[in-house]
Amino acid sequence: MTHVIVLNGGSSSGKSGIARCLQSLLAPEPWLTLGTDTLVDAMPGTGVGIAFGDDGSVSVGPEFRRVEAAWIAGVAAMARAGAHVVVDEVFLGGPASQERWRTALAGLDVLWAGVRCDPQVAAWRETARGNRVPGMAASQAESVHHGISYDVVVDTTRAEAMTCAREIAAKVG
């Protein structure tokens, strides 16, 4: 049985909405949703070792990577202890990001889901939300998928979150 669903996509691609829909679709089994925003929000101030550029770029340093490694290990420990987890992630480091998760989740049944969205649509959503660094959505829309392997890929450009969640839920074993 699937223990973890990892959703990878750029900022404002629709991962959080899909995660909430998955929680509903996969009930009555409780699925926790944890994501990179959960980690960043838990950090003091604007984050430890993470910087957001005026152009929407994100850079992380060794302090962030150290805390991130502990966080990933904690998420994996919860899954090993019996929790079902939907991870809402942004693989800024490409394949190296996925490999960090693969290593931590070794031995667990993981479903890897790519969440794509047209860069212009993601940028529009980013502006509408008003709480994102301008330019982040467009810069991440394609780059976070380079070199990543998935079990399923959905596109939120024209599809609702529930439709995408149903596609992903159909792959849950």
Q: Going by C-beta distance under 8 Å and a sequence separation of 6 or more, which residues neighbour residue 91?
A: 8, 97, 98, 144, 145, 148
CA distance 10 to 122: 8
Residue 77 β-bridge partners: none
Helix 15-25 × helix 161-169 angle, to 10°: 60
CA distance 49 to 27: 37
CB atoms within 10 A of CB 107: 9
CA distance 140 to 119: 8
Which residue matches tokens 């750029």? 10
Name the catalytic one among 37, 118, 151, 155: 37
**109 annotated active-site:** no
Which residue matches tokens 């290990």? 73
**Active site residue ranges:** 37
